[in-house]
Amino acid sequence: MEINTFISKDWNDYELLDTGEGEKLERFGKYHLIRPYEDAVWPKTLSKNDWDKADGKFLSSKFGAKNGWKFVKEIEKKFELSYKNIKFWASPTPFRHLGFFPEQASHWDFIESTIKKSGRKIKFLNLFGYTGMASLFALRAGAEVTHIDASTQSNAWHKENQKLNKDLEKLPIRIMSDDVLKFIEREEKRGNKYDAIIMDPPKFGRGPKGEIWKIEEKLQVLLEGARKILSDKPLLVILTSYATDSSSLALGYALKDIMKDFKGEVNQGELCVLEKSNNRPISLANTAVWKMH
């Protein structure tokens, strides 16, 4: 199976400026921030002076520091960014993220274009939906969207993102704080089906009632459950993993197995962003994508 790179070159409000020595230097709107990137086992390309101009840095406990952000200058607690005219809030979180994953922009593009080209009403399900970027692009494409995340905070963030976009604010979307596996089980019993499903399971997590999620134990259960709530004519299925011990080939094999009864193809590879200093793709996650023929 071929391994692909999934990359969007259409960002204006985000840039990966440089990587190296276990870190990455990024621009989020007007702010330059440094975050850990343990895979960067090569030297930095930009000068120390370029890196020292950063507005803040996330310190990782893996390197003996107290986990958290250290800011050189005061920055806004949340600030507005956009991608292809969909606006959203960015904010430095205690988990090093800023409320979105820029490397997933290629998936947002794929979701929107594929739904639009389908020429039919699509029921779209976003599992582990986080702050809802994929949900918003599916919504703009005309899909009927269901968004599931265990975190009420993430779902509230998603609602704020939707409010930023006046053309999307009034469109119907079902947003639920729920354990994904329990939700799938209930949907199967109800006979509810979906034409498009995107899954971005964490390595470890907890549901609203303390349910334990471990990707190595639950991924197959998740995929088998997702298969049971697919419609007879599925359009797309996307699986992404940030677990360090996962591989895109493994995701591809697993996705291909559950979709074997449908006419389509699986492409697997790495979600990347383009590094400005070297004009090269930098891998940040593994993914597999099934699309109907």
**The pLDDT of residue 244:** 66
**For residues 183 and 176, what is the distance between their CA atoms, to the nearest angstrom?**
9
For residues 8 and 106, the answer to whether their CB atoms sit within 8 Å is yes
pLDDT bin (cut points 50, 70, 90) of residue 206 is low
| 284, two tokens | 């940040």
User: 63 lies in which domain range?
Assistant: 8-83
- One domain for residues 139 and 47: no
The model carries a pTM of 0.94
**The pLDDT of residue 204:** 56
Torsion of CA 280, 199, 267, 229, to 10 degrees: -170
- One domain for residues 55 and 125: no
Q: Which residues of 173-211 are buried (b: 16+ CB within 10 A; e: fewer)?
A: bebeebbbbbbbeebeeeeebbbbbbbbbeeebebeeee
Domain-located, residue 3: no
pLDDT bin (cut points 50, 70, 90) of residue 127 is very high
- One domain for residues 124 and 184: yes
Beta pairing partners, 125: 146, 197
- One domain for residues 244 and 170: yes
Domain final position from 50, 83, 116: 83
Task: Report CA torsion sign: 90, 103, 180, 114.
Answer: positive
pLDDT digits (tens, 9 = 90+) for 138-179: 999 999 999 999 999 999 999 999 999 999 998 989 999 999
**Number of domains forming the structure of the chain:** 2
**The pLDDT of residue 212:** 65
Domain-located, residue 90: no
For residues 188 and 182, the answer to whether their CB atoms sit within 8 Å is no
